[in-house]
């Protein structure tokens, strides 16, 4: 098959369906072209070594990557974020209309919704089927994060999404909850598949001799949160939990690794807390060592119905490195950790629940913690790995193109 992979974010940006996915598809014998933007996520600035231009073609590990211009931004400004989304949509649409002959299927990675819209319109003009991979449910996410508050605008976005779903030959979602929601919205059940995300396995399992001192004094019980520090993560509740924990067990420390629009504010809030540390964002090829030095890995999202049907991306990375997980997210993500027997769950945005669960885990034996980590690693390998996911995608691509050729 000749596959056109359409995504606003691609390596060297952090993304789930990036270079590793593309290489795996090519290794399976398929021809691939990627259309993406100039790398600027998550900082909102063009990466060193890149310069904005109409088009830049790269060959990265044998994969053809075509970059088209966009407005680089990833801050709290609604206007700049919208401009970022629509600028990529505009340039990728015009390039996608004419790129690559004999394309068999378009794979569109969403968010943002505008990527799915571009794939639908290109597919309509060029009569190419497309598979939509929904990682973020719009307009639900926009409403939950308050990025948009206008009810009529959200309604319009919802109607556009429904049109995209109708145009898609097949839809892939990251959780059973997403599938149920789409079925409730009258999308045919037989065109929706659940394929769990995987993590960047190669980067996570590289070793860079990061020592335990990275996380502070040896002998501490370190609860580590790694990833984006934004409004959706609602980490102020975790800081409140840390205050409760400090009074009960001074050896328990909370360490936040990463950056985001809330990072500076939270640093200021935690200035007086001796058991809280913030570390800057580190490259993916270094984060694995830091995660393995943790005692427990924390996932937290604000309490929203939308987040009950999503699985935060760090979940797969945490499972892969074989460390116990404290899942402070309701719904599908909690079910996954319980199914894997890989950790404990707490109530999101509930400092008391989080604190009690942390203290409970801190009282477990080393063997009990190791068993949880081992369970998680085995569950990831059997159910969530790159190899498992790629095989499922290839089968969907084959079915999609076979139906189209009948």
Task: Output the 3-class SS for the chain.
Answer: CEEEEECCCCCCCCCCCCHHHHHHHHHCCCEEEEEEECCCCCCCCCCCCCCCCCCEEEEECCEEEEEECCCCCCCCCHHHHHHHHHHHHHHHHHHHHHCCCCCCEEEEEECCHHHHHHHHHHHHHHCCCEEEEECCCCCHHHHHCCCCCCHHHHHHHHHHHHHHHHHCCEEEECCHHHHHHHHHCCCCHHHEEECCCCCCHHHHCCCCCCCHHHHCCCCCEEEEEECCCCCCCCCHHHHHHHHHHHHHCCCEEEEEECCCCCHHHHHHHCCCCCCEEEECCCCHHHHHHHHHHCCEEEEECCCCCHHHHCCCCHHHHHHHHCCCEEEECCCHHHHHHHHHCCEEECCCCCHHHHHHHHHHHHCCCHHHHHHHHHHHHHHHHHHCCHHHHHHHHHHHHHHHHHHHHC
Residue 224: predicted pLDDT: 96
Residue 404: predicted pLDDT: 60
Q: Which stretches of the chain drop beneath a pLDDT of 50? A: 210-213
Q: Where are the domains of the chain?
A: 2-198+385-405, 204-382
Question: Are both 2-198+385-405 and 204-382 of the same fold?
Answer: yes
**Class of the 204-382 domain?**
alpha beta
**Class of the 2-198+385-405 domain?**
alpha beta
Residue 216: predicted pLDDT: 66
Residue 346: predicted pLDDT: 97
Q: Per-residue pLDDT tens for 92-136?
A: 999 998 876 789 999 999 889 999 999 999 999 999 999 999 998
Residue 406: predicted pLDDT: 53
Q: Per-residue pLDDT tens for 19-66?
A: 999 999 999 999 999 999 999 987 888 999 999 999 999 999 999 999
In this prediction the pTM is: 0.82
């Amino acid at each position: 098959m000749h596959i056109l992979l359409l995504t606003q974010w691609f390596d060297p940006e952090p993304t789930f369906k990036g270079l590793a996915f593309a290489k795996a598809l090519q290794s399976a014998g398929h021809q691939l072209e990627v259309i993406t933007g100039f790398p600027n996520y998550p900082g909102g600035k063009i990466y060193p070594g890149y310069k904005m231009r109409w088009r830049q073609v790269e060959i990265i590990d044998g994969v053809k990557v075509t970059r088209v211009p966009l407005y680089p931004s990833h801050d709290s400004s609604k206007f700049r974020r919208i401009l970022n989304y629509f600028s990529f949509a505009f340039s990728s649409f015009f390039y996608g209309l004419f790129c690559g002959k004999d394309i068999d299927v378009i794979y569109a990675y969403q968010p943002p919704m505008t990527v799915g819209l571009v794939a639908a319109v290109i597919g309509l003009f060029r009569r190419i089927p497309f598979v939509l991979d929904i990682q973020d449910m719009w307009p639900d996410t926009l409403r939950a994060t308050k990025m948009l508050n206008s009810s009529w605008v959200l309604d319009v976005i919802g109607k556009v999404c429904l049109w995209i779903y109708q145009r898609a030959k097949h839809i892939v979602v990251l959780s059973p909850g997403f599938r149920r929601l789409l079925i409730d919205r009258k999308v045919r059940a037989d065109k929706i598949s659940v394929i769990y995300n995987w993590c960047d396995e190669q980067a996570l399992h590289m070793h860079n001799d990061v020592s335990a001192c990275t996380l502070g004094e040896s002998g501490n019980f370190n609860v580590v949160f790694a990833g984006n520090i934004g409004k959706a993560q609602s980490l102020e509740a975790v800081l409140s939990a840390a205050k409760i924990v400090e009074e009960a067990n001074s050896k328990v420390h909370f360490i936040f690794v990463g950056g985001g629009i809330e990072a500076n504010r939270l640093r200021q809030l935690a200035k007086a807390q001796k058991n809280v540390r913030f570390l800057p964002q580190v490259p993916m090829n270094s984060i694995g060592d830091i995660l393995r030095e943790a005692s427990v890995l924390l996932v937290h999202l604000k309490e929203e119905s939308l987040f009950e049907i999503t699985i935060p991306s760090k979940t797969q990375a945490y499972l892969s490195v074989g460390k116990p997980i404290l899942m402070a997210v309701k719904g599908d993500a909690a079910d996954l950790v319980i199914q894997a027997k890989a950790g404990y769950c707490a109530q999101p945005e509930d400092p008391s629940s989080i604190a009690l669960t942390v203290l409970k885990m801190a009282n477990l034996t080393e063997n009990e913690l190791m068993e949880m980590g081992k369970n998680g690693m085995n569950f990831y390998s059997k159910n969530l790995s790159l190899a498992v996911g790629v095989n499922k995608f290839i089968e969907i691509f084959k079915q999609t193109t076979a139906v189209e050729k009948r």
